Amino acid sequence: MQKISIIIPAYNEEKRIGKTLEAYSNYFKSLWKRKEIDYEILVSINNTKDRTKEIVRYCIEKDKKIKYLDLVNGGKGYAIIEGFKDSLKRDNDLIGFVDADMATSPEEYYKLIKNIKNYDGVIASRYLKGSIVEPKNTLSRIMASRVYNVLIRSLFLMPYRDTQCGAKVFSQKALKRIVENVGMTKFAIDVEIIHKIRKEGFRIKESPTRWSDREYSTINFWQSGPWMALAVIRLRILSSPLKKFIRIYDKFIGFVPK
């Protein structure tokens, strides 16, 4: 029976982490009882200032397969990478992450796990045929997302239509090869992980998903968007012969990745 480690990065998630953990715990516990898959849920708490840790501890009393890391520095990328490192210490066949907002339900996440098959990674996509987005994105948000995707595909020659959906699963062997070399870029963590796994010769595919936008979002897309683009450009420079000029780039834009 395969085992999956599901990492949930959490920053000030007191309003929703309890419901998310309850839903994922109940669903994957039922799969485990039917011997379909073993699991652990690792909440990677990063510098939270609310009751997130207290709520997670309460959930652990109900399901001992829930674990947590209490990190004091870094953003989402740092939380994900530290989660990878911790999960790799145990006997997990697959390791992935999912956002804490339940935009991806446990049922949809399990579909990713089943769909990985002979690949080393599978990423949920909101823009493939068969995907469902509820409610539908506004035209301006769709246009901004498409511009960002064109930038990524142009810089890294990636075939994927959606690198940013917060639900992904990877094989243990793929993550072992790249985890120590990921720069934990705050705004480009998804792209960096995918890019470096592909550079090692592993295969990643997209899978259509049902994605539901949730309230209480902790990310302001319009504030983060420009920094995401600058972070992707920075990652491309670091992956090119121009990497010796990265300090000049950082100084010019005032960008300090975390």
Tell me 34's DSSP state: T
Residues whose CB is less than 8 angstroms from the CB of residue 90 and which lie 6 or more positions away in sequence, other chains included: 5, 40
Quick one: pLDDT at residue 12?
94
CA torsion 242-246-250-256 (nearest 10°) is 130
* Residue 109 near residue 6 (C-beta atoms within 8 A): yes
* Residue 145 near residue 164 (C-beta atoms within 8 A): yes
Architecture of the domain defined by 3-253: Alpha-Beta Complex (3.90)
Q: How far is the C-alpha of 224 from the C-alpha of 218, rounded, in Å?
A: 11
Domain residue spans of the chain: 3-253
Q: How far is the C-alpha of 10 from the C-alpha of 52, rounded, in Å?
A: 8
H helix intervals, 49-171: 52-62, 76-87, 106-115, 139-156
Q: How far is the C-alpha of 53 from the C-alpha of 73, rounded, in Å?
A: 15
Quick one: pLDDT at residue 256?
55
Quick one: pLDDT at residue 226?
79
Q: How far is the C-alpha of 215 from the C-alpha of 231, rounded, in Å?
A: 26
Quick one: pLDDT at residue 16?
95
Q: Tokens 């990878």 — which residue?
A: 84
In one-letter notation, the amino acid at residue 227 is W
Quick one: pLDDT at residue 247?
83
Write out the chain's pLDDT in tens, 258 residues: 999 999 999 999 999 999 999 999 999 999 999 999 999 999 999 989 999 999 999 999 999 999 999 998 878 899 999 999 999 999 999 999 999 999 999 999 999 999 999 999 999 999 999 999 988 877 777 778 888 888 999 999 999 999 999 999 999 999 999 999 998 677 789 999 999 999 999 999 999 999 998 654 445 555 667 778 888 888 888 888 888 878 887 877 765 544
Q: How far is the C-alpha of 256 from the C-alpha of 133, rounded, in Å?
A: 33
Quick one: pLDDT at residue 75?
86
